[in-house]
């Protein structure tokens, strides 16, 4: 996209006219979807919010498993603290924050002027289906506080085992109703099921969703009047606190 970047200081209205460089800008709705699944300028690795959520969920599970198998109270506390950080740290986009940002951006997509009916219908379902992961994150936070103040190795081990179960469910889902199938309904969903749901929404898009170029991902801003535009100066920042 060298040709595109060389014109970054021109107003976005000229971008569709750059024949041979780019055909036309993506829809605003598709850029928001790209923020959820591909990339966004505010995450630690500039990766999509769902990618960040999964990476952090894997970290949380790893630390929780270490705590569960431990026999040293101090190490259990340390690993549980790290697991909770990966789950609930807001500044570094723990699981909860990253997932909520993904939900927000799918909602932004649905309320964009150019949103398809498919996205408008799917967004509130995705938000509702994400609730169980958020609930688990909150439970992990509460149990982590119990571990932090515990003077009992046995008590800490019991709580660590439950945190391990919750972190695993946040990644892979769970079989809470005993049906023999993990993730058979939204109350059992983890990030695996939520990503599958998003992928299915994307597969239904007409016109077809195409992976959004980084320039558009990093330069969509919201004006004070609420209108979404591409920053003609390509500064990659955010306006009005948008992230």
The mean pLDDT value for 163-186 works out to 96
Query: Sorting pLDDT into bands at 50, 70 and 90, what band is 2?
Result: very low
> What pLDDT is recorded for position 66?
97
> What pLDDT is recorded for position 238?
53
Residues 3 and 21: beta-carbon distance below 8 Å: yes
The mean pLDDT value for 46-64 works out to 98
Is the pLDDT score of 6 beyond 60?
A: no
Separation between Cα atoms, residue 132 and residue 104, nearest integer Å = 16
Query: Sorting pLDDT into bands at 50, 70 and 90, what band is 226?
Result: confident
Boundaries of every domain in the chain? 1-26+213-243, 28-211
> Which range has the worst mean pLDDT, 112-116, 165-169, 175-179, 220-224?
220-224
> What pLDDT is recorded for position 239?
44
> What pLDDT is recorded for position 24?
76
Mean confidence (pLDDT) of the chain: 88
Q: Which of 236, 232, 242 is nearest to 9 (CA)?
A: 232
Alpha helical stretches, state H, 38-129:
49-68, 73-88, 95-111, 117-129
Q: Which residues contact 179 (CB under 8 A, 6 or more apart)?
A: none
pTM of the entire predicted model:
0.86
State how far the alpha carbon of 187 is from the alpha carbons of 157, 170, 174, in Å. Answer: 26, 11, 9
Is the pLDDT score of 117 beyond 50?
A: yes
152 backbone φψ class: left, alpha, beta (φ>0; ψ -120 to 50): beta
> Cα angle vertex 86, ends 101, 55, to 5°?
70
State how far the alpha carbon of 20 is from the alpha carbons of 4, 7, 24, in Å. Answer: 10, 13, 11
The two three-digit tokens of residue 200, written as one number = 């299915």
Residues 97 and 89: beta-carbon distance below 8 Å: yes
């Amino acid at each position: 996209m060298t040709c595109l970047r060389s014109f970054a200081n021109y107003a976005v209205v000229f971008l569709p006219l750059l024949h041979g460089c780019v055909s036309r800008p993506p829809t605003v709705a598709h850029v928001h979807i790209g923020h959820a699944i591909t990339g966004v300028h505010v995450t630690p690795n500039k990766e999509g919010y769902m990618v960040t959520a999964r990476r952090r969920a894997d970290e949380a599970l790893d630390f929780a498993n270490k705590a569960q198998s431990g026999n040293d109270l101090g190490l259990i506390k340390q690993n549980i603290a790290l697991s909770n950080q990966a789950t609930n740290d807001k500044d570094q986009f723990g699981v909860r924050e990253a997932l909520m940002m993904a939900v927000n951006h799918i909602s932004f997509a649905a309320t964009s002027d150019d949103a398809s009916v498919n996205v408008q219908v799917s967004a509130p379902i995705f938000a509702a289906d994400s609730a169980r992961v958020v609930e688990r994150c909150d439970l992990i936070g509460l149990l982590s506080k119990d571990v932090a103040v515990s003077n009992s190795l046995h008590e800490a081990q019991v709580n660590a085992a439950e945190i391990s179960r919750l972190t695993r469910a946040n990644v892979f889902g769970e079989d809470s109703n005993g049906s023999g199938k993990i993730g058979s309904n939204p109350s059992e969903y983890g990030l695996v099921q939520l990503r599958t749901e998003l992928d299915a929404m994307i597969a239904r898009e007409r016109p077809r969703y195409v992976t959004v170029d980084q320039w558009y991902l990093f330069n969509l801003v919201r004006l004070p009047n609420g209108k979404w535009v591409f920053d003609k100066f390509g500064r990659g920042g955010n306006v009005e606190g948008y992230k």
